[in-house]
Amino acid sequence: MQGFVLVRLGVFGVPGLTEIWRTVAVISAGVSLLLVLFWHHWLIVGVLIDTGVLVSLLWINWPSAELLSS
C-alpha cells in the first residue's frame, strides 16, 4: 500500500519520485498480486486492479514518454 502512495506522489510531481513512479507501480502491483497465495473470493477486485496496473504500464506502455516529458 505504501508503494501506491509513492506512485501517487510521483504522478503529482514530487521531486525524486517523478522519474521512478512507473517502476514503483509495477513492483507494488506485483507484490500485491501475492494475494493469490491467500485466496478468498473477496480479493478478486484487488487482483483485477493490480492486473490492470501491470497491463497498462507494461503492455500498453501508458503513459507515453512524450506525455511525461512535456
Mind listing the pLDDT tens digit for each residue in 7-45? 889 888 889 988 889 999 999 999 999 888 888 888 899
- How far apart CA 4 and CA 10 sit, in angstroms, is 10
Confidence (pLDDT) at 36: 84
Band (69; pLDDT cuts 50, 70, 90): low
List helix spans (H) across 1-70.
2-11, 21-32, 44-54, 65-69
* Number of domains the chain is built from: 1
Residue 42 belongs to what domain range? Answer: 2-69
Phi/psi zone of residue 14: left (φ > 0), alpha (ψ -120 to 50 degrees), beta? beta
